[in-house]
Amino acid sequence: MSTATVIGQALQQRLNSARELTDSIFRLLSPEALYSRPIPERHRLVFYLGHLEAFDWNLIGRKTLGVDSWSPEFDTLFEFGIDPPVGQAAADQPSDWPGVEEIQAYNRRVRARLDELVDQAPEQIIQVALEHRLMHAETLAYLLHNVPYHHKKTSVTAPLVHSSNRLVNSMIEIAPGVATLGQKRGEFGWDNEFAEHPVNVPGFRVAKYKITNGEYLDFVREGASAPHFWSRHSQHPGDRWFYRGMFAEVPLPLNAPVYVTHAEATAYARWSGKRLPTEEQFHRAAYETSNGSERPYPWGNSAPDAARGNFDFHHWDPVDVNANPEGDSASGVSQLVGNGWEWTATQFGPFPGFQPMPFYPGYSQNFFDEEHYVMKGGSPVTAACMLRRSFRNWFRPNYPYVYASFRLVED
Ligand SMILES: [Fe+2]
């Protein structure tokens, strides 16, 4: 068997399991919920059902291999969705969208055709399709998080166990040194990960743990508003707070990371007299070692596995911030990867030498607007391949729906 065939088979296998993952997320939904819009700023869920295949088809079939389409209407509808009138909220109705069977038939046809073509497309293009799908798996998860519980089929095997003894967070010294940001030429990455470059970072101190719900609760009790993921049941004795999990509300797990917006994280940092780390400080905390070298993951060189952190769809909800000591960095900082993206103080922008991907020029560039902040690390529903050191995520400072946590630094 040639090397190209082996690579082709490995990619096909990854594509199959990514398809199975997104299919399994759609299967959690009751049929009527598919046409709902759980987050006002996003499309109805039905859009994403067609979007994953339309994206793959447009990118691989049409643009890369120049194959004729049999369903240009679906290719276009599910590439962009139905745009809202300028300056207004989306006004489309469920009846504006095709039926499920029709979309599923389109999807089946796209998959069968792409499976025949996959060997002809450059590996990089298939990787783009793969990671695009896996990113949408995460987006779908947080969209589903906002679908009412009675419209979801529970897929939880056992509830997560949380400790109730309040943890003590401590600050860890990080020596001055170099953070290597970005991805090496020749390795796969999105355009915003290039070019690789070193940054000198002065010494600083970083919190061992992500900020917990318990710590944030002190801030709320002093008048800050509660995060999107919390709910308050005032009819309970003692006026209790709950965490709105994927499939059920649970009494607020005090040692789990708090999921907040960038604005909330920044306000908490100010209140506590500390700051959010910059992107390069995050890198230093996560990847530096005492001998001056850097490692691919906080724990070293080995590939991500469930003992190292809460990622890759093992759980839908966060675990306690001290649950993965095997994933600690060389300096002993915990859960830098997994259990919630980490907000940084760095605005999303191009690295020196940035060049937009010719086949998807707006992917990053459209967001270099000083209105988005870099997040690093990964959440419970971030696929393992996107836990690479150079991967960057970004959101607006007031978007409350993502699984985004934070930790603090001081000089
Ligand atoms: Fe997309």
Contact (CB, 8 A) for 57 and 15: no
| Spatial CA neighbour of 279 closest among 133, 152, 392, 118 | 392
The per-residue pLDDT for range 157-177, each reduced to its tens digit, is: 566 778 878 888 999 999 999
Task: State residue 163's pLDDT score.
Answer: 82
Distance 344 CA to ligand 1 centre (A): 24
Distance 136 CA to ligand 1 centre (A): 7
Neighbours of 20 (CB within 10 A): 9
Task: State residue 159's pLDDT score.
Answer: 63
Contact (CB, 8 A) for 256 and 163: no
Task: State residue 86's pLDDT score.
Answer: 67
| Spatial CA neighbour of 355 closest among 222, 112, 183, 148 | 183
Task: State residue 87's pLDDT score.
Answer: 73
CA distance 404 to 343: 7
What pTM was estimated for this model as a whole? 0.95
Which positions of the chain have pLDDT values less than 70?
1-4, 82-86, 155-159, 236-239
| Spatial CA neighbour of 29 closest among 52, 46, 15, 16 | 46
Distance 60 CA to ligand 1 centre (A): 14
Distance 55 CA to ligand 1 centre (A): 7
Distance 181 CA to ligand 1 centre (A): 25
Neighbours of 320 (CB within 10 A): 23
Distance 353 CA to ligand 1 centre (A): 25
Task: State residue 156's pLDDT score.
Answer: 63
Distance 92 CA to ligand 1 centre (A): 19
Task: State residue 273's pLDDT score.
Answer: 98
